[in-house]
Chains A and B, each alone.
Chain A
Amino acid sequence: MSNYPEKLQEYLDDFGFITSRDERADYLIQISDEFKPVPESIATQPYDEANRVVGCESEAFVWAVDREDGTLDFYFDVLNPQGLSAKAMSAILDQSCSGVPLEKVASIDDDVIFTFFGKDVSMGKGRGLTGIVNTVVYEANKRLGKI
């Protein structure tokens, strides 16, 4: 059984049924429409470079804020207004990882991007998307004392 966050697994299962490039694009665009940028109560521009996702050419940023129950709230922003893929990935992680046990978040393999974006995702784009995933995983691992 998967140890992934439940919502993430739901997304993975949904995308596992998609075989058409157009259908995949439509679903990702729909998810990107659900993207919520980081609230001003958490961060305002210019953002701290420590929160920048290294290697993401759409200029994605990630924040992890500790909750009292020991989990994390994750926040995201994507400065490139045309960075739809980065927004979609961020929206998926936002919905899947905030308030979720750290062990589940830490278990996420960055290979998930290939399920969402297809196996032919370009190296540059893949680098950015895996960067967003791994930044989230890194924050969970840090709280777990594994880093």
Chain B
Amino acid sequence: MSDISSRGYANPDKLVSTQWVADHLNDANVRIVESNEDPLLYPSGHIPGAVEVDWVKDLNDPLRRDYLDKDGFASLASRIGITPDTTVVFYGDKSNWWATYALWVFELFGHTNAKIMDGGRLKWTNENRDLTRDRPSITATTYNAPDRDDSVIRAFRDHVLTHVNAGGQLVDVRSPGEYSGETLHMPGYPQEGAIRGGHIPGAQSVPWSRAANEDGTFKNSDDLKAIYLEEKGLNPDEPTIAYCRIGERSSHTWFVLKNLLGFSDVRNYDGSWTEWGNSVGVPIEK
């Protein structure tokens, strides 16, 4: 895979290479954070010095379906030893699916000095780089967190409904079977999440994994444009909303559209299909 800076990304500085991470393991101004779909991965071995941010335990409100609040974020930031000036580098499994989710949540609190290690956990291990089971000793910091700002990169259901009625751009990043509603009609398997299957009207189907190479790295700009702009006809200057089931896969696509393709206004609808498919009266297409 070519050097990040030569791939034509809109914001190449949002990605770092595995070598960059290796070179900055002892950089006091950098904090490496692992965030996975499988909580067994970090304790089974992680990048030396990396801390874990678990999306269930650390990022979500334990009672309400929402993210942590200002005090919760300040506490989390303190625990992992960062300040607003720390460069936080996220990586994880599933082609950095959950790493981009964690980055997105951090940006809700204004911590935009955040990057993704291209290729994630898979690339690091495939390159036979060191892993350790030792948990780092972190000195707690003081982090004066702002209030969470949901107004720029987050979408709520009513906003999505207005967007749909205006013919706005949407990207459904689920599997084709989920997009068509087929997977909610197969008998004999555990089904969760929504009473109705299908997709939000007007949404283009672009499964999130199409943005990633097999080695976990992001595709280059030309390949991404071929998918999102040429094949799907998305306009990077138009407001765009990405969604999936609970906003986890769509964070990956949000990262691609915003930072790699430079879409001017792209939001993640974290209520996603578990909300839309269970909501009374909202329009659905199949």
Question: A55-B191, A58-B38, A122-B37 given. 11 additional CB < 8 A pairs?
Answer: A26-B43, A29-B44, A32-B44, A55-B189, A82-B41, A84-B44, A85-B39, A88-B40, A125-B37, A131-B190, A134-B189
* Pairwise interchain contact A130-B39, C-beta atoms closer than 8 A: no
* Pairwise interchain contact B190-A82, C-beta atoms closer than 8 A: no
Complex CA distance for A49 and B43, rounded to whole angstroms: 32
Question: Provided the pairs A29-B44, A82-B121 are in contact, do residues A127 and B192 lie with their beta carbons within 8 angstroms?
Answer: yes
Interface status of B57 (Cβ within 8 A of chain A):
yes
Q: Which B residues are within 8 Å of any A CB, using their own CB?
A: 36-41, 43-44, 55-57, 93-94, 121-122, 183, 186, 188-193, 245-246, 248, 274
Complex CA distance for A58 and B37, rounded to whole angstroms: 10
Interface status of A60 (Cβ within 8 A of chain B):
no
30 A–B contacts, CB within 8 A, in A order: A21-B57, A22-B43, A25-B44, A29-B43, A29-B44, A32-B40, A32-B44, A54-B183, A55-B189, A55-B190, A58-B38, A80-B94, A81-B122, A82-B38, A83-B38, A84-B41, A84-B44, A88-B40, A120-B56, A122-B37, A122-B56, A123-B192, A123-B193, A123-B246, A123-B274, A125-B37, A130-B190, A131-B190, A134-B189, A138-B188
Residue of A88, A120, A122 most packed against chain B (CB within 10 A): A122
**Chain B residues with Cβ under 8 A from A34's Cβ?**
none
Question: Which of A35-89 touch B at CB < 8 Å?
Answer: 54-55, 57-58, 80-85, 88
* Pairwise interchain contact A124-B246, C-beta atoms closer than 8 A: yes
Residue of B56, B121, B122, B190 most packed against chain A (CB within 10 A): B190
Size of interface on A: residues with Cβ below 8 Å to B:
31
* Pairwise interchain contact B190-A127, C-beta atoms closer than 8 A: yes
Distance in Å: Cβ of B91 to nearest Cβ of chain A? 12
Residue of B37, B122, B193, B248 most packed against chain A (CB within 10 A): B37
Q: Which residue of chain A lies nearest to B45 when distances are taken between CB atoms in the complex?
A: A29
Closest 6 CB pairs of A and B: A84-B40, A25-B43, A82-B93, A54-B189, A130-B190, A29-B44
* Pairwise interchain contact A84-B38, C-beta atoms closer than 8 A: yes
Complex CA distance for A58 and B36, rounded to whole angstroms: 12
* Pairwise interchain contact B188-A82, C-beta atoms closer than 8 A: no
**Chain B residues with Cβ under 8 A from A58's Cβ?**
38
Complex CA distance for A134 and B57, rounded to whole angstroms: 27
Complex CA distance for A83 and B43, rounded to whole angstroms: 13
* Pairwise interchain contact B37-A25, C-beta atoms closer than 8 A: no
**Chain A residues with Cβ under 8 A from B43's Cβ?**
22, 25-26, 29
Which secondary structure dominates where chain A touches chain B?
helix
Distance in Å: Cβ of A56 to nearest Cβ of chain B? 10
* Pairwise interchain contact A124-B41, C-beta atoms closer than 8 A: no
Complex CA distance for A55 and B175, rounded to whole angstroms: 10
Complex CA distance for A55 and B55, rounded to whole angstroms: 20
**Chain A residues with Cβ under 8 A from B190's Cβ?**
55, 110, 127, 130-131, 134
Complex CA distance for A57 and B38, rounded to whole angstroms: 11
Complex CA distance for A25 and B189, rounded to whole angstroms: 27
Distance in Å: Cβ of A80 to nearest Cβ of chain B? 8
Complex CA distance for A57 and B43, rounded to whole angstroms: 20
Complex CA distance for A58 and B122, rounded to whole angstroms: 14
* Pairwise interchain contact B94-A57, C-beta atoms closer than 8 A: yes
**Chain A residues with Cβ under 8 A from B246's Cβ?**
123-124
Complex CA distance for A3 and B195, rounded to whole angstroms: 33
Interface status of A106 (Cβ within 8 A of chain B):
no
Question: Provided the pairs A29-B43, A58-B38, A147-B188 are in contact, do residues A82 and B122 lie with their beta carbons within 8 angstroms?
Answer: yes
Distance in Å: Cβ of B98 to nearest Cβ of chain A? 10
Complex CA distance for A125 and B37, rounded to whole angstroms: 8
Complex CA distance for A127 and B40, rounded to whole angstroms: 17
Complex CA distance for A29 and B94, rounded to whole angstroms: 18
**Chain A residues with Cβ under 8 A from B248's Cβ?**
124
**Chain A residues with Cβ under 8 A from B57's Cβ?**
21, 120
